[in-house]
A and B are shown apart, each in its own frame.
Chain A
Amino acid sequence: MAADRPFPSESNRCSACGADPGSNLACLACGLILDPGRDPEHFANLGLDSLATFDPAIAELNYLKLSRLLHPDFQAGRDERTQALAVRNSSLLNEAWKILNDDQMRSEYLIELYDPGVLERHKALSPEFLMEAMEVSEELDDAQTQGCKKTVQKIANSARTEIETRMKDVASACAATIARLAHKGPQPGETLPAKQLSTHDSNTEQIAVLLHQARVYRRILRDTENAR
């Protein structure tokens, strides 16, 4: 199983079985619960390579497998330290899954990993975009007060389209960034290849803007759901 996935840190070996553990949290080969240290990286926690194309099926498979290894329910009779570690690692696993299983959160996490602070630097959206979003919000408010379900549905559909277009662009821009990084290649033993890009990478800047815009439309979409 571990051999199916590329993993950036080649020097990492499980102390119990000698295999590549595959995850920061537990050895996917033998099940040994590992101490991941402080603030371990989500992709590595879930047994994924941040530089590989995200495959939701593999992610879920790993999540389920690691859950079975780490969940406190299955630690009956283990020593206190192992039990405490299992609780901590379970919580880290759940956190990793929550973020990586969500397109928006995963993309945000990924670009911050390679270009820290980029989201904050490009928080301000263009006046044109904000104007457009405000008009849609007002239209939704009116539709709600008038009880016009058809308009609410129309706004929901167009919000979905806006989100999809942007997430598609995010995905291809991320792939391009990843390709460049992968070409450079992370150093062996380096699990968190942060700051590999210059702080003014035009690619990540573009992704940040798209993600901020997608968030705005997600908020509108949620409002349409609450309206119904």
Chain B
Amino acid sequence: MTEKQASQEIVIGIDLGTTNSLAAIVGKDGPRILHQRDGEALIPSVVSFLDDGSHIVGEKARHRAVTHPRHTVHSVKRLMGQNIDEVKQRESDRLGYQVVQAKDSLLARIDIDGKLYTPQEISAMILGEVRRTAEEALGKPVKSAVITVPAYFDDAQRQATRDAAKIAGLQALRIVNEPTAAALAYGLDTSREGTVVVYDLGGGTFDVSVLKITQGVYKVSATAGNTHLGGDDFDMLIVDFILDAVKEHIASDATIPPEAMQQIRLSAEQLKQQLSASETAALEIDLDLEEPVHFTLSRADFETAIRPLIDETLACCHSALTDAGIQPEAVDEVVMVGGSTRIPLVRQLVEKDLGRKLHVELDPDRVVALGASIQADILSGGTKDLLLLDVIPLSLGIETVGGAFSKLVTRNSTVPARATEMFSTSVDDQTSIEINVFQGERELVRDCRQLGAFKLRGIPPMPAGLPRVEVTFLVDADGVLTVTSREQRSEVEASIEVVPSHGLTRDEVKDIIRNSIKMARDDFLARDLVELRNKANNLATGTRRVLAMPEMPFTDEQRQDLETDLAHLDSLAKGEDIAELRAKCDAFGEKTQALADQAIGEAIKAELNREQSKLPSSPQQP
């Protein structure tokens, strides 16, 4: 680690997953996962709201999914940047909590006892927990991060992720695609060259990326995927099996309460995991019926059920290869990422289909976070050996006459990417032009996703058709679009107002941040606690060092007194009481200051003795 790097601000890599989230950082010995205090790395991406309006995140929240399904939000990643009808269509009854339409738009909101939350806010809570974990593990505040998203996330979903970071008080230095991050983690230890396919099947999303690695440059040639295909969908297929079994035990018109549904959902997840290791899996499901429902599922039945979904992922692989202009035989390596690649059938079919041995050496749940931390290291001025060149997953364009979609930046263009387009007016003295921006691959805009409307204002009044407004569409390295424009005859910079169709406006983000003062206060306190704990640890370590010095003339009583103080300090540092810890730190610091001075004195004396004893002519110390 160079000195320059050490002085730089800490940047962590965060895998913000559908099921779990985690952080990693590049240290002296390379990338490593930042663990929670209990040693766990994975933080379940679940937020549960308590009666007093506060919330908890992670494992404890996950347990509340069964007892408090309406107050517990899981799989929020699948709601990011989505309309209410998109969510209703896909997720319908699998979510235990209420998803409603926003008051002033079509966007999905999460309804907790009448209080509406945006998916960005919920994601921000998860990011906040990840940050706290990282700060505790590092003993330092963390302000910046690289956050991963599925490669196939569109502009709205990327914007939503950026906004979530902003709300969490984190600067998202870069949004990196998950499969690309994984490739980076795999490629780090070797100077690998060649064509790599990354197959990333996670909890909620599927991505495949084809990369060409040349001289440390990781260039994505093509990517394809489905942002709503993952382990959650496999769980739902098992849920259907269980429901069929349960229905034999209950009245035909009885409805299953949400608590039971969530219990079934978690049971399905367990069964799925068991089936990766054994041929059959069985569970007792206690639904407060007369007796628990006994349920058995064979791996064969499970595999038959999920087969169509896996076939869909394989079709994606082939379209990515075609887009990349690469024959399957030319693929050098296949890397498997995401928890769902633990399913034996997935491995078996991908291996057979691509005809390559699969890379499964790294933990599929952690490889993305590790890759993100490598990118974080690059961005904070660390390694310059590696460079990622990623692509935009879906074409960007504008609406033209008759609702046709005119592509300006085609899919799989390397980012940053740009396109310019000339616009003019259709009536005399027209001073503004509205441009509708869409993302997708279809011919008509009604089949694509609208990203927003851009209003060009401030065009000088001229006869119709005379103004020449050049609009530049720039997709940055995060895959996010920005638009600038200028009128060429007058050289006037036309101003642009962006009205996002799916995301939050800049003002909305500001409002959320302003409204989350309590959260900010919590964050502040959490950071305070981290810093205090750190201070306490330093004090304790220093004092113990002094106590261990043989030359220090302590009485037994003094030693006893200091040991008591140290024990007290340790126990306070493990607790959450900031005020008491601060008071103890201050008092103990003052007390030990004298000790420290004394220790320094003794150390100097000892040093002098040694120096003098080296001189043969010097007289002996008395």
A and B: bona fide binding partners: yes
A residues bordering B, Cβ < 8 Å? Answer: 60, 64, 67-68, 71-74, 76-77, 87-88, 90-92, 94-95, 97-98, 225-226
On chain A, the residues within 8 Å of B418 by CB distance are 88, 91-92, 95
Q: What is the 8 Å Cβ interface bit string for chain B, positions 82-111, against chain A (1 contact, 0 not)?
A: 000000000000000000000000000000
- Checking A60, A90, A226 against B416 with a beta-carbon cut-off of 8 angstroms, the contacting residue is A90
A28 to chain B, nearest CB (A): 16
| Beta-carbon contact of A67 and B387 below 8 Å | yes
CA distance A60 to B375 in the complex (A): 23
Chain A contacts for B387, CB-based, 8 A: 67-68, 71, 73-74
Q: Which residues of B contact A91 (CB under 8 A)?
A: 415-418, 474-475
The residue of chain A having its C-beta at the shortest distance from the C-beta of B318 within the complex is A228
Comparing B28-36, B257-265, B333-341, B376-384, the segment that makes contact with chain A is: B376-384
Give B388-411 interface residues, CB cut-off 8 Å to A.
388-389
**B381 adjacent to A76 (CB under 8 Å):** yes
Chain A residue contacts of B380, Cβ below 8 A: 76
Taken together as a complex, chains A and B put the C-alpha atoms of A95 and B410 apart, in Å, by 11
Which of B384, B414, B415, B474 interacts with A88 by CB under 8 Å? B474
- Chain A: minimal CB distance from B224 (Å): 14
- B: interface residue count bin: 20 to 34
Partner of B476, one of A68, A87, A95, A97: A87
Residues of chain B lying within 8 A (CB to CB) of residue A72: 416, 476-477
**B214 in contact (CB, < 8 A):** yes
Contact B413 A64 (CB under 8 A): no
Among residues 289 to 340 in chain B, which have CB atoms less than 8 Å away from a CB atom of chain A?
Answer: 322
A residues within 8 A CB of B413? Answer: 94, 98
Bound Cα distance A76, B9 (Å): 11
> When the two chains form their complex, are residues B217 and A73 in contact, meaning their CB atoms are under 8 A apart?
no
Which B residues are in CB contact (< 8 Å) with A98?
A: 413-414
Q: Given the complex of chains A and B, what is the CA–CA distance between A226 and B319 in angstroms?
A: 8
Q: Could you list 19 further interchain pairs (A-B, Cβ under 8 angstroms) beyond the known A71-B477, A90-B416?
A: A60-B214, A64-B215, A71-B389, A73-B174, A73-B375, A73-B388, A73-B477, A74-B387, A76-B379, A76-B381, A87-B416, A87-B476, A91-B418, A92-B418, A94-B389, A94-B413, A95-B418, A98-B413, A225-B322
Shortest beta-carbon contacts, A-B, top 6: A91-B418, A91-B416, A94-B414, A90-B416, A76-B381, A72-B477
Instruction: Tell whether, in the assembled complex, residue A87 and residue B215 are in contact, meaning their CB atoms are under 8 Å apart.
Output: no
Contacts of A97 in B (CB 8 A): 414
Task: List chain A residues, Cβ under 8 A from B384.
Answer: 68, 74
Within the complex, which residue of A60, A71, A77, A87 is in contact with B381, where a contact is CB–CB below 8 Å?
A77
**CB within 8 Å of A: which B200-225 residues:** 214-215, 217
CA distance A189 to B414 in the complex (A): 31
In the assembled complex, which residues on chain B have CB atoms less than 8 Å from the CB atom of A87? 416, 474, 476-477
250-276 of chain B: CB within 8 A of chain A:
none
Q: How many Cβ-Cβ contacts under 8 Å join chain A to chain B? A: 59
Known contacts: A72-B477, A94-B413, A98-B413. The answer to whether A67 contacts B381 by CB under 8 A is no
Report the minimum CB–CB distance from B328 to chain A (whole Å).
Answer: 11
Instruction: Say yes or no: B416 contacts A94, CB within 8 Å.
Output: yes
> CB within 8 Å of A: which of B559-582?
none
CB of B502, distance to nearest CB on chain A (Å): 24
A35 vs B236: C-alpha distance when bound (angstroms): 55
A15-B388 Cα distance, complex, nearest whole Å: 29
Report the bound CA distance from A92 to B477 in whole Å. Answer: 13
Q: How far is the CB of A189 from chain B (nearest CB, A)?
A: 25
What residues of A have a CB within 8 angstroms of the CB of B474 in the complex? 87-88, 91
Q: Closest chain A residue to B419 by CB distance?
A: A95
> A84: nearest residue on chain B (CB-CB)?
B474
Distance A71 CA – B219 CA, assembled complex (angstroms): 12
A64 to B385, CA, bound (A): 12
Say how far B497's CB is from chain A's closest CB, in angstroms: 21
Task: Give min CB distance, A58 to chain B, whole Å.
Answer: 14
In the bound assembly, the distance between CA atoms of A225 and B325 in angstroms comes to: 10
Cross-chain pairs A/B with CB under 8 angstroms, 26 sampled? A64-B215, A64-B217, A67-B389, A68-B217, A68-B387, A71-B389, A72-B416, A72-B477, A73-B387, A74-B384, A76-B379, A76-B380, A87-B474, A87-B476, A88-B416, A88-B418, A90-B416, A90-B477, A91-B417, A91-B474, A91-B475, A94-B414, A94-B417, A95-B417, A97-B414, A226-B322
Provide the residues of chain A in CB contact with B415, threshold 8 Å: 91, 94
Asked whether, in the complex, the Cβ of A73 is within 8 Å of the Cβ of B381, the reply is no
Residue of chain B at shortest CB distance from A226: B322
Q: Which residues of B contact A60 (CB under 8 A)?
A: 214
Question: Which chain B residue lies CB-closest to A72?
Answer: B477
- The residues of A that contact B322 with a CB separation of less than 8 Å are 225-226
Residues of chain B from 151 to 183 with CB closer than 8 A to chain A in the complex: 174
Residues of B within 8 A of A225 (CB): 322
A132 CB, min distance to chain B CBs, angstroms: 26
| Complex interface residues of chain B between 345 and 398 (CB less than 8 A to chain A) | 375, 378-381, 384, 387-389
Cβ distance A112 to chain B, nearest Cβ, rounded Å: 16
Most chain A Cβ neighbours within 10 Å, of B384, B475, B476, B477: B477
Q: Min CB distance, A210 to chain B, in Å?
A: 21
For the complex, give the distance between the alpha carbons of A74 and B217 in Å. Answer: 13
Q: Which of these, B217, B375, B476, contacts A67 with CB under 8 Å? A: B217
A98 vs B221: C-alpha distance in the bound complex, in angstroms? 11
- In the complex, what residues of B have CB within 8 A of residue A226's CB? 322
Q: Are A73 and B214 in contact (CB under 8 A)?
A: no
A92 to B418, CA, bound (A): 7
Give complex CA distance A91, B415 in Å.
7
Separation of A98 and B378 alpha carbons in the complex (Å): 25
- Distance A67 CA – B215 CA, assembled complex (angstroms): 12
CA distance A87 to B387 in the complex (A): 15
Tell me the smallest distance from the CB of B407 to a CB of chain A, in Å.
14
A56, chain B: closest CB distance, angstroms = 13
Give 1 or 0 for each of B411-433: 1 = CB within 8 Å of chain A CB: 00111111000000000000000
Chain A residue, CB-CB nearest to B215: A64
Residue in A60, A90, A92 whose Cβ sees the most chain B Cβ within 10 Å: A90
Give the shortest distance, in Å, between A223 (CB) and chain B (any CB): 12
In the complex, A13 Cα to B531 Cα: how many Å? 52
Among A67, A91, A92, A97, chain B packs the most CB atoms within 10 A around the CB of: A91
Mask of B452-476 contacts with A, CB within 8 angstroms, 1/0: 0000000000000000000000111
For A68, list chain B residues within 8 Å (CB). Answer: 217, 384, 387
